[in-house]
Amino acid sequence: MKWQRSLRSLLVVSLIFFVPLAASADTVAVAGSMGDCMADMAAAFSSSGRGEAPQFVAGASGKLAAQIKAGAPFGLFLSASAQWTKHLDEEGLLEEVAPMATSPLALWWPKAEAPSVDRLPSGELKIAIADPETAPFGKAAKDYLQSLGVYDAFLAEGKVVIGGVIQTAAIIPAQGGADVGIVSLSVALKMEGGSYTLLPIKPLGNSGGLVKGKATDNLRAFWSFIRSAEAAPIWKKWGFEPAAR
């Protein structure tokens, strides 16, 4: 099945790509929800002749922000929400901070028919979400379930399963550990199977900025490129809506 092939891909990404790697200042710290999109961006950037494809370290935005505060040699930070970008900016660690895109949340499961959002409050579905403490999509999922008045009870009853990065919110139901996962649209599209329904909540605003004293000229050019009109089709391919220029 297509989603099973996608699951193998996500498992590889989770085990290899979404861990701290040996990095240089020409490395981008990127939220997991944007990993595949940024791989396409890097290829397009390199093909344009404007610079070389940078390296990427991907994971939960909060954990990446903590690594930057600890001195990790990342030159560019791309966050799934403005929360962590603002935090680092207030710490005086970023420059040229700007919005990039918005990203909807989706309810995904490994079945052919689209999952019904209306079933979430009933308690009949076990729900997987990313870690609300470090992953913006996990926090958004928690906030949504709280708005339905069910989060605390479901968590206590084991009907909410908390993973790590956003990919785990799809991996868990794909492996049978939950019925559905609340994920970014980009992850739902990555699955290439199963089905999803967009959640009726405001999309997350993705933002980023250059890390002061560590961004190379190549990363400055890449940061400009991914916010250009030329990059808009790549954002849209992966379920993002580019920020207004």
- Give the C-alpha distances (Å, rounded to integers) separating 18 from 27, 51, 76, 204: 13, 24, 16, 21
Q: How many other CB atoms are found less than 10 A from the CB of residue 73?
A: 16
Q: Is 33 annotated as a binding residue?
A: yes
d(CA 48, CA 231): 11
What is the token pair recorded at 155? 């968590």
Q: Is 166 annotated as a binding residue?
A: yes
Q: Is 61 annotated as a binding residue?
A: yes
SS3 per-residue string spanning the chain: CHHHHHHHHHHHHHHHHCCCCCCCCCEEEEEHHHHHHHHHHHHHHHHCCCCCCCEEEEECHHHHHHHHHCCCCCCEEEECCHHHHHHHHHCCCEEEEEEEEEECEEEEECCCCCCCHHHHHHCCCCEEECCCCCCHHHHHHHHHHHHCCCHHHHHHCCCEEECCCCCHHHHHHHCCCCCEEEEEHHHHHHCCCCEEEECCCCCEEEEEEEECCCCCHHHHHHHHHHCCHHHHHHHHHCCCEECCC
Q: Which residues are annotated as a binding site for molybdate?
A: 33, 61, 166
Q: Which residues are annotated as a binding site?
A: 33, 61, 166
